[in-house]
Chains A and B, each alone.
Chain A
């Protein structure tokens, strides 16, 4: 602590001795310059030693060299200027050096912190779990500087976030893998089921041709066809849940509804079906998936409503969306049932046959188109299913499609 002052005193003493020894060969101005050197040397020790050195230098210079010599008296006012120069040099150089020192210390401290932070970041990045991050914090963290501790905390938090993200990604990959597996299984199962089913249907229809009325064969044929419909639904749900984009085209709703009504001829035989679809109603849909959607909704309506009650199909546009409503006059659905009808394998309070897949497939298909299917109570009794499919692109102009 005192060492810089001692060095300052030594420097002033040495300069005084030197000046005294060679005093005959130099002028008094040179003596002053020698003191400047001593002060600058003392300044290396900091502001205090520098000021002390300048004060002592002024005193020594005055006492030994300024006439009258060996007194503190001053006969020449010019010497006063020399004194002030020496004092100013002492104060400013000391200040400058002190500032330089401080800057150097700060930069060294910064460097140390950066290195520590770097080491911490490296350790934290290498950590594969929370314990690893904690160990890294323990190894590198908690310094006296709050800013540094904050930086460590931030880096630690980033490391934890990274771990959490990696965990989420790993889970998503796992889920996708499971889904992929499920879909592959489902599609291979349904293929393996369909192959024998095709043979059964074929054989039964061949036999049916050769046999007069046979309830047994008719049942085999109709049950095989029911099984086939179920497999189609299973495959549809696999398709939409696998995330494959529907292959959308502009299709008149009528064109899709037509084959559905024909295929459901038997199921709908006891229900008068009215259709009200504007002639030019185009929907932007995957024709195959949308046919499945309408088939399931109409099949559902036929199954869950008493014979002779009507089913009304309305198709219309609402801005940039196509709407299809399928309304029945059946017993209706309680509010708690309405919330669940679209769930997979939900079968409701019904004795009607079915695996509870049909409406889940409907929802899946609507969702795959960015659309919705909703169920509500119908005014005057019954249920309305509303399908809403927003256009995936602006509707093309079909008026100019006349061939030349």
Chain B
């Protein structure tokens, strides 16, 4: 992991200082950009392995830069956003951002997100393994079998598809739209309540305490994440 270059696109100096300091002390190379124009140049010459992008930039819409980055490279983009900006996050995720961090966040959250993003980038964005292990949960995609702590769990086909999709992107947030599109097809991309009801059922089958989910977490207003650690 040492030597990975992270491009930080952030206009607030103290925030940039924190990001630089935190990343540098964990062995990353850091390139900073205070404007979108700088960021666009830096993305070309520094060839970053991942990008931290603050969406509220003074010289334009961070989403535009995101689109440019998506055209030029497969480097994962992690969006930095405020708490009440769920729409903005969803837009960025659906436009190709890999994940997001809600300000304020600490070092451990920052590093966890970057590690997941880099791992996914190396594995060609999604895991192609037939058998995926996430914590105590094992998903065998070939045999359509799921076990939790070696105990066989029976899932409906819909639940299995949801879980397998989340597991292939383990650690990464998936928006409602992405999940609906994958599991129910493009026609039902707005029926979020289907998703929520099946997610509740899935939690009851997989979580020790479904009211305090450990693995299948809800990202309010955004989507779901299968926590991977």
Contacts and interface: CB of A to CB of B under 8 A. Distances in A.
Q: Do A and B come from one complex?
A: yes
Interface stretch (A34-42, A131-139, A251-259, A322-330): A251-259
Nearest to A200: B104
A191 interface: yes
A279 B204 contact: yes
A255 B200 contact: yes
Interface string A20-61: 000000000000000000000000000000000000000000
Contact of B196 (A195, A197, A252): A252
Interface string A228-270: 1000100100010000000001111011111101100000000
Given A202-B19, A205-B106, A288 B193 contact: no
B17 A258 contact: no
Contact of A398 (B14, B83, B194, B220): B194
Nearest to B21: A206
A78 interface: no
A195 B14 CA distance: 9
A291 interface: yes
B138 interface: no
Nearest to A291: B220
Contacts of B196: 249-252, 255
B212 interface: yes
B158 A402 contact: yes
B104 A228 contact: yes
Interface in B1-44: 12, 14-15, 17-19, 21-22, 25
Q: Which of A198, A235, A261 has the most CB of B within 10 A?
A: A198
A366 B185 CA distance: 34
A194 interface: yes
Contacts, number: 131
Contact of A206 (B83, B107, B210): B107
A195 B19 CA distance: 13
User: How extensive is the interface on chain A, given as a class?
Assistant: 35 or more
A192 B145 CA distance: 50
User: How extensive is the interface on chain B, given as a class?
Assistant: 35 or more
A250 B190 CA distance: 12
A250 B193 contact: yes
Interface of B: 12, 14-15, 17-19, 21-22, 25, 82-84, 86, 103-108, 110, 156-158, 161, 183-185, 191-194, 196-200, 203-204, 210-213, 217-218, 220-221
25 contacts: A194-B104, A196-B14, A198-B103, A199-B18, A201-B105, A202-B19, A202-B107, A205-B107, A206-B21, A209-B25, A232-B84, A235-B83, A249-B193, A250-B196, A252-B200, A254-B203, A254-B210, A279-B204, A282-B197, A398-B193, A401-B193, A402-B156, A402-B157, A403-B158, A403-B161
